[in-house]
Structure 1
Amino acid sequence: MVAAQYFDTRSSRAHPVVLIVSSGQAILHDADGVELRRAPLASLRVSERTKRAPRLVTFEDGAYCEITDHATFETMLAATGYREGLVSRAQNSWRLAGLSLLGLVAFVVFSYFYLLPWAAAVAARTVPPSIEAKLGQATLDSLDHGLVTPTRLPEADQRRIRDNFAALRRPDDPGHDYQILFRKGGRLGANALALPGGTIVVTDELVKLVGTGAGMMGVLAHEAGHVAQRHGLQQVFQASAVGALAAYMFGDISTMLATVPAAMLSMRYSRDHEREADAFAVEVLRDNGLPVTALADALQQLEDAHTGGGRKQAAKDEESGFFTTHPLTRERIDAIRNGGE
């Protein structure tokens, strides 16, 4: 038995009682030993265990007992076969709480590195081409409003690059209408940007650096790989997962149109996306009889231009230019060269 305070719902006054469990029944006796009420154990609700607050045993009609002698009450509960839920046990166990926290951290890490990219890839593949084209146009409009200026590249160079790219044999990609646009990069520097829908923006500075030949075709094939595999959309979905997914599911495309340009211009492709785009470009170059090393040479030129101006210039370039969206590594360049052997 255990001492308790009984509240019968008819008044706010507490009645000192003793709670006894016998033959599957909970029985209340007052201070004089007179039985006040009894009820089957299965009909009672027992509050969760806390460190200091009293435990409550509530009857079906709302009357309840407050019990402060936790040790005696828990011994009584154990004798009846009562077992608290996992949540309640976890709240009162440092070990279970710690395991729960570790589990939560593991789930968050797993979701960030595996579940979110997978979900973003699935969502990106289901975006209709018409919506993807609108997202690309919105990004281009954002570029043209202050970030880039009209190209100064000679018409002959523009035509040569477009014609050479159009002549490339590439894997079938019916959902995209590829077009090459030229802009003076300004703060973007030597850069090529693959926009949703198939538009690839090439800066004058990039043409000046790598020329109009096989190296440029390698860079454009790399960008086409990002478009074909919808890497840009995947990055957008990952960067603003909740908002982008809600906009896509519920049809509020204006929300996506508003967020995509900023996300596209500030994103950095993941290493996996860069490797996939590199592999796409290598396949295109091989299928067209072009040297695979031309892409590696172009990337090397970009890296040399990035680091050749000294530490101050490299830091400046890190904030803009090709490295903003295409993090280059020695490993990537070496992998392309080895792949061309």
Structure 2
Amino acid sequence: MLRFPARYNDGVTARTRMVEAVLEADALVVLERDGGAELDRWPRASVRLLDRPNETGDKRLTAGAGDTARLIVADDRVIAALMAALPELRRAERGDRRTVRRVWVLGIGAIVSILLILFVFLPHLSGAVASAVPDSVARELGESTFESMADFAALGGGREAPACTAPAGREVLDGLVRRLAAASDYDGPLEVRVLDWSLVNAFALPGGIVVLTDGMIEFAGSPEALAGVIAHEIGHVAGRDPLRAMVQAAGVSVILGLLIGDVTGGGALVLASETLINARYSQAVEEVADGHAVRTLNSAGIDARPLADFFERLLGDMAELEEALRIISTHPPSAERAGVIRAAAGARGGAMTAAEWAALQAICTQ
């Protein structure tokens, strides 16, 4: 019979007791050191060693899987004696290793599954969903998103009602949009709006809505460059890219919400709206929109080279111009993109007269 001192925790309270343990013929018995009252009794076949026997320091014994009680032994000679007397003692160690491996495998599998859903299946699914959304529903989404953008613009220092509608500028813009629409291979709904917002950017929204900021009109530098920006955004509209981005963003929000507790998906719509403000389309999607822009400009007789110059100017100024950094983050330009656009530019005409350009630049002044 093996008797040895140990420390005992019943797994229910935080209290640790000094005890004596006795290895009897059928069980490992835990006794109070003072008085000898029996505190616990573990069948011999259930006793397991939780720590590796060659590790330094205390060793923990337990009564098997699911038991939270612990018997802590400081003497390695006792552990050696127990290992000799209990052949099953170390099976827990091997089992724990298998359990840890299973946990790691399952955890890595879950992470890979989530990544596949977010970056492979969801993008493909979002395209199918976007194609199935009726135009009327897409328009409602676009209007709701535009209202959110107007709120952002107001917070950014614009007017309380920041839509720009100066009649002379509006007339020029409408004429340019009609010209681009007629030259485009997109025949769906199309409306271009301007927000009094210093942010330099342009957005395509669901339902055929394109939003220009006053900052973009100012930064474009020429009517031909601005026409190229509009034609590019029309390309996103034609590809239903904004609707796909919203579906994907909402799906990501729902998935993350399920993971972190927002099971109502309440943040999905907010995230979807913000996605279009900060949308960074893939390089392939941007190239398709670039191609649409160049074809449209060529068909309309407008020189596309200023659009290439616009991208190069963004690259040149990005180190010192905060607004350029913002648009680069959402529509990343590159020397390669500019080169492709310049090489494909076949027309040499202007987008409008100098007087019309001045009127358009003043569209937010009324």
TM-score range, shorter chain: 0.5 to 0.7
TM-score (norm 2): 0.58
Aligned position for 1:33? none
Displacement of 1:180 in angstroms is 1.5
Give, in whole Å, the separation in 1 of the partners of 2:153 and 2:144: 14
The alpha-carbon deviation at position 286 of structure 1 amounts to 4.6
Distance in 2, Cα, partners of 1:259 & 1:287? 32
Residue segments in structure 2 that go unaligned for 5+ positions in a row: 11-15, 32-37, 347-366
Specify every segment of 5 or more residues in structure 1 that has no aligned partner in the other structure, as ranges: 31-35
- Distance in 1 between residues matched to 2:261 and 2:208, nearest whole Å: 22
2:51 partner SS = coil
Residues 250 and 268 of structure 2 are in contact (CA less than 8 Å); yes or no, is this contact kept in structure 1? Answer: no
% of aligned pairs identical? Answer: 16
Choose which of 318, 328, 334 in structure 1 pairs with 2:324. Answer: 318
C-alpha displacement at 1:276, in angstroms? Answer: 1.2
CA contact (8 A) 1:214 1:294 kept: no
Distance 1:123 1:332 in 2: 28
> In structure 1, what residue type is equivalent to 2:204?
A
Q: 1:156 aligns with which of 165, 168, 171?
A: 171
Q: Distance in 2 between matches of 1:244 and 1:226?
A: 30
Deviations 1:43-91 (A, max 9, x none): x26363376454234399x997835145426734883385236784499
Query: What is the aligned counterpart of 2:336 among 331, 334, 339?
Result: 331
Q: How many residues align?
A: 307
Matched-pair contact (CA < 8 Å) for 1:274–1:326: no
TM-score with structure 1 setting the length: 0.61
Distance 2:125 2:258 in 1: 10
2:145 corresponds, among 119, 136, 143, to 136
CA RMSD of aligned residues (A): 5.5
2:148 maps to a residue whose letter is T
SS of 1:275's equivalent in the other structure is helix
Q: What residue number does 1:46 align with?
A: 48
Q: Write the distance in 2 (CA, Å) between the matches of 1:317 and 1:13.
A: 67
In the alignment, the residues of structure 2 paired with residue 59 and residue 239 of structure 1 have an alpha-carbon distance, to the nearest angstrom, of 41
- Relative to structure 1, the CA distance from residue 214 to residue 278 in structure 2 (aligned partners, 3 Å threshold; closer, same or farther) is same
Residues 188-242 of structure 1: per-residue CA shift (max 9 Å, x gap) = 23x3212344321124336752438973553233432574364542457668962
In the aligned structure 1, how far is the partner of 2:81 from the partner of 2:144? 64
- Match of 1:19? 23
| Partner amino acid, structure 2, of 1:269 | R
**SS at structure 1 position matched to 2:173:** helix
Quote the Cα distance in structure 1 between the aligned partners of 2:258 and 2:176: 35
Please state if 1:223 is matched with 2:227.
Answer: no
Q: Do the aligned partners of residues 302 and 219 (structure 1) sit closer, same or farther apart at CA in structure 2, a change above 3 Å counting? A: same
Q: Residues 284-321 of structure 1, C-alpha deviation per residue, up to 9 Å, x if partnerless? A: 755897399965x344232344366x677x4333344x
